[in-house]
């Protein structure tokens, strides 16, 4: 092997191997740098595009989503629903008129009874003794009167013969009249006690149903003028027809008048509707509740309804004569905004911008509210608006915002 010196041999080079030029190396370096720059630019551009999309989506999601309703006319027939209570047409709590002990009862709760039907009997030993004594007193009074009558007749005959004085004859006649009065008093006492004895039979006052029995055989029966001493024995209710009482708010009371349609439902018969007829109203507003008491009559010939039932009563109320179609509009109660400046509605204006207007509220119909001024029939009302909603605020309908709005929002941001 050839070497330059004795310790370092010289490498052997093929005679045909080409050497790279400096120009080629520069071109390769420039290409590598260009590729790196392109990669960096593409990465930055991708990140900027993704950041813009995220910002656009975030801005769109920040716009409140609202639902819009259209006002409805308020001059059509209105449906008013109120709670009511069913009561008996007649209801009587039967008390004892005479003291004693309950001998027997013949009807229990739920029994259908007729007027005059025997419900129970009372043993009255004290009253029986008083009646026997009264009859004996009457017999004594009758005997005294008969003797006084005979004596008076005799003295009247002696007076005609001038055997006695007129004064003595008049005294005998007066004694007869006094004993006659005593007989009448004794007879009246006997009649009174016999009438009291008749109250030992407890009878139904009218056709109806026994709704309560509050005594039993052998129970001590108290009777007297004081409410604390009297003993309630039975409750009887007449259930055909039934009375239905409803408290109607003052604002709706003007529409409750004879001739309107009414119906009711009760929880035990879901889906079944019972017709009712307006009977009368109290014509007075309660100071405690601000309502007018309304009485209706309900047919209960089938015996399905019960005394004390809770009912939902529906009235079909015609519009007031002074309100024309379109003069009053209705919106959901949930659309109202209650603020310091008054009652307001949020409307959807041009460009989906909010327009807050002040309105005048009419009658509260439960789920809907009458608006008498400040609202037009073609306005778009925002239902359930956020409490923070402001005039001019941008909103969107539904869950997706149009692309144009999102672009505009990005431009503003």
Residue 381 near residue 69, CB atoms below 8 Å: yes
Please determine whether the domains at 125-198 and 328-412 fall in the same fold group of CATH. Answer: no
Return d(Cα 231, Cα 219) in angstroms, integer: 10
- pLDDT at position 408 is 36
Interacting residues of 380 by C-beta distance below 8 A, sequence separation 6+: 68, 69, 70, 347, 348
Return d(Cα 183, Cα 147) in angstroms, integer: 12
CATH architecture of the domain formed by 125-198 = Orthogonal Bundle (1.10)
Say if residue 138's pLDDT is above 50: yes
Torsion of CA 350, 356, 361, 364, to 10 degrees: 80
Range with the largest mean pLDDT of 157-166, 182-191, 339-348, 389-398: 182-191
Mapping DSSP to helix (H, G, I), strand (E, B) and coil, where does residue 187 land? helix
Percent of the chain exceeding pLDDT 90 equals 28
Instruction: Give pLDDT tens digits for 216-256.
Output: 999 888 885 454 667 789 999 998 899 999 998 887 787 78
Against a cut of 0.75, is the pTM above it?
Answer: no
- Verify cis geometry, omega within 30 degrees of 0, for the bond prior to 81: no
Domain limits, the chain: 76-123+200-323, 125-198, 328-412
Say if residue 315's pLDDT is above 80: yes
Q: Which secondary-structure segment (H or E) carries 132?
A: helix 125-160
Return d(Cα 158, Cα 170) in angstroms, integer: 12
Helix H segments across 5-93?
22-62
CATH for the stretch 328-412? 2.40.420.20
Name the residue with higher pLDDT: 392 or 57: 392
Average of per-residue pLDDT across 137-157: 89
Return d(Cα 359, Cα 335) in angstroms, integer: 12
CA-closest candidate to residue 97, choices 203, 237, 213, 189: 203
pLDDT band for position 402 (cuts 50, 70, 90): very low
CATH architecture of the domain formed by 76-123+200-323 = Beta Barrel (2.40)
CA-closest candidate to residue 169, choices 157, 182, 155, 151: 155
Return d(Cα 286, Cα 246) in angstroms, integer: 13
Residue 92 near residue 117, CB atoms below 8 Å: no
What is the greatest pairwise CA distance in the chain?
A: 213
| Other beta carbons less than 10 A from residue 41's beta carbon | 10
Name the residue with higher pLDDT: 17 or 279: 279
Nearest 5°: phi and psi at 408? -60, -40
Say if residue 370's pLDDT is above 90: no
- Verify cis geometry, omega within 30 degrees of 0, for the bond prior to 241: yes
Mapping DSSP to helix (H, G, I), strand (E, B) and coil, where does residue 250 land? helix
């Amino acid at each position: 092997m050839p070497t330059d010196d004795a310790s370092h041999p010289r490498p052997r080079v093929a005679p045909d191997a080409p050497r790279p030029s400096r120009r080629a190396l520069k071109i390769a370096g420039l290409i590598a740098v260009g590729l790196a720059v392109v990669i960096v630019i593409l990465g930055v551009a991708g990140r900027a595009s993704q950041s813009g999309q995220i910002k656009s989506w975030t801005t769109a999601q920040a716009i409140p989503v609202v639902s819009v309703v259209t006002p409805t006319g308020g001059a059509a027939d209105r449906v008013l629903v109120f709670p009511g209570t069913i009561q008996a047409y007649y209801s009587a709590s039967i008390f004892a008129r005479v003291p004693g002990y309950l001998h027997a009862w013949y009807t229990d709760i739920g029994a259908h009874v007729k007027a005059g039907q025997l419900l129970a009997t009372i043993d009255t030993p004290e009253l029986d003794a008083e009646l026997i004594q009264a009859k004996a007193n009457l017999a004594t009074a009758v005997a005294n009167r008969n003797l006084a009558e005979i004596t008076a007749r005799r003295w009247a005959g002696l007076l005609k013969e001038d055997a006695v004085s007129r004064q003595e004859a008049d005294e005998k006649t007066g004694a007869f009249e006094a004993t006659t009065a005593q007989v009448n008093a004794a007879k009246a006492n006997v009649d009174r006690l016999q009438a009291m004895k008749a109250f030992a039979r407890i009878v139904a006052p009218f056709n109806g149903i026994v709704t309560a029995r509050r005594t039993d055989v052998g129970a001590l029966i108290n009777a007297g003028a004081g409410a604390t001493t009297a003993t309630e024995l039975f409750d009887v209710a007449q259930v055909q027809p039934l009375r239905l009482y409803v408290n109607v708010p003052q604002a709706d009371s003007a529409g409750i008048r004879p001739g309107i349609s009414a119906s009711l439902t009760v929880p035990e018969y879901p889906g079944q509707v019972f017709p009712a007829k307006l009977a009368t109203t109290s014509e007075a507003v309660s100071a405690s509740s601000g309502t007018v008491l309304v009485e209706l009559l309900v047919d209960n010939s089938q015996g399905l309804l019960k005394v004390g039932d809770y009912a939902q009563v529906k009235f079909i109320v015609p519009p007031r004569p002074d309100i024309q179609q379109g003069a009053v509009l209705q919106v959901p109660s949930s659309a109202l905004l209650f603020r310091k400046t008054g009652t307001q509605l949020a409307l959807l204006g041009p460009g989906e911008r909010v327009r807050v207007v002040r309105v005048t509220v009419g009658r509260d119909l439960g789920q809907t509210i009458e608006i008498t001024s400040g609202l037009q029939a073609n306005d778009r009302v925002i239902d359930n608006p956020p409490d923070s909603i402001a005039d001019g605020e941008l909103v969107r309908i539904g869950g997706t915002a149009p692309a144009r709005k999102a672009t505009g929002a990005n431009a503003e941001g």
